Structure 1
Amino acid sequence: MVDTLLGGNWAILAHEWAGPAGIDPEHWQDVVEAAAEAAGVDVEFVVIPRRSLTVVFNRAAPPTFAQVRASIEVIERHR
């Protein structure tokens, strides 16, 4: 995931993906944050409660609103 963020991309966690076999969104955020910190990547998380999503991106290469919106639309279509 850190390589993705270093490349100027972002990641989105749909909270239902955590499920009984997965990790909860808060734990996912902790794991990603620790890995990013170890790699020297300054990340930001944006929780979107209405959509039950968490977005993470590299602050040095943030995505545009349109890019994130397009990613969210893909997730919404597959729900």
Structure 2
Amino acid sequence: MEVPYAFHQRILESPKNRDLLEGVFSDILGRSIKVTTILGGRPQRREDIANIEIAADDEIIRAAAEIFNSETVN
């Protein structure tokens, strides 16, 4: 798994969090999964904006917005 910051890498590689991730991925995929992380670069701004646009169309995001009475801000 590629992460943009060393902080994220340290958090994900802690035994408690790694075991949790591996357990969830293993349950979903039906086989044993081992998680490793590598430090990557920060996404470019254009990619950040594209990800936000995709997230706005996500059913979970819409449900959360409805629960918290929030509005989408462009």
Shared topology, TM-score over 0.5? no
Which structure shows the bigger proportion of residues in helix conformation?
2
Which structure shows the bigger proportion of residues in strand conformation?
1
TM-score, scaled relative to structure 2: 0.31
User: Of the two, which has the highest radius of gyration?
Assistant: 2
